[in-house]
Amino acid sequence: MNNKPLFITFEGIEACGKSTQAKMLNDYLIAKGQKVLLTREPGGPNISEKIRSILLDPENKEMTAETELLLYLASRNQHTAEWILPALNEGNIVICDRYFDSTFAYQGVARKIDLDIIKQINNFATFGLVPDITFVLDISVEMSILRQKGKKLDRMESESIDFHEAVRRAYLEIAKENNRYVIIDGSKNVDEIHEIVGNAFIRSV
């Protein structure tokens, strides 16, 4: 396995299994002797985690779509500058649970914010950083709801079925853009998905 910096992201609707798969890939790579940073969005460093708490608080029902977008991008800017870019510059592999594809799906398509505006601000916030490989775990909204049964939902998870259907469709469209995306059936067995992720990773290095 080559020791070179790689930026890997996991995307998908709520409860698709991306966090589980990100952690499994992290553990696999560490076992292979790789230096890895496992992180998430919104979140990561302290400032970004504080912004996360505002974004996901179900009490913040009055938040506008524009405020939501700018808070996500502020969190991402701090995260990228403080954690992600330094780790990549040190030659590490970075695995991130969500990155900017989430913004295009959730705020761009589902919230109907102009995609050109998002592209411009996101490029500024991320210093032009683009993931090397992005795994999109696809499940139905019905399965997403079933997997979250009994869980206290955050502000984004509490959105309507139509909202989450729009997010899912957006991801599938986004994933057609270029070959950095790997779409995986998220309803498969956890170990089977991990094997698909591992094989795709090996092909990318």
Residues 6+ apart with CB under 8 A from 172: 136, 138, 183
User: What's the CATH code of the domain at 113?
Assistant: 3.40.50.300
Residue 1 confidence (pLDDT): 62
103-121: average pLDDT: 98
pLDDT, tens only, 54-69 = 999 999 999 999 999 9
106-125: average pLDDT: 98
Other beta carbons less than 10 A from residue 56's beta carbon: 16
Is the pLDDT at 3 greater than 90, yes or no?
no
Of the pLDDT bands very low, low, confident and very high (cuts 50, 70, 90), residue 2 is: low
Of the pLDDT bands very low, low, confident and very high (cuts 50, 70, 90), residue 204 is: confident
Residue 205 confidence (pLDDT): 81
Of the pLDDT bands very low, low, confident and very high (cuts 50, 70, 90), residue 16 is: very high
Report residue 143: phi and psi, to 5°. -65, -40
Is the pLDDT at 4 greater than 90, yes or no?
no
Report how many domains make up the chain.
1
Question: Token digits for 15?
Answer: 């409860």
* Rg of the chain on CA atoms, in Å: 16
136-155: average pLDDT: 98
* Neighbouring-strand partners of residue 48: none
Q: Cα separation of 136 and 98, whole Å?
A: 10
Can you give the residue range of the structural domain that contains 51?
6-204
Residue 86 confidence (pLDDT): 98
In the chain, the percentage of residues whose pLDDT exceeds 90 is 95
pLDDT, tens only, 162-181 = 999 999 999 999 999 889 99
With respect to residue 1, please indicate whether it lies within any of the assigned structural domains.
Answer: no
With respect to residue 29, please indicate whether it lies within any of the assigned structural domains.
Answer: yes
Residue 113 confidence (pLDDT): 98
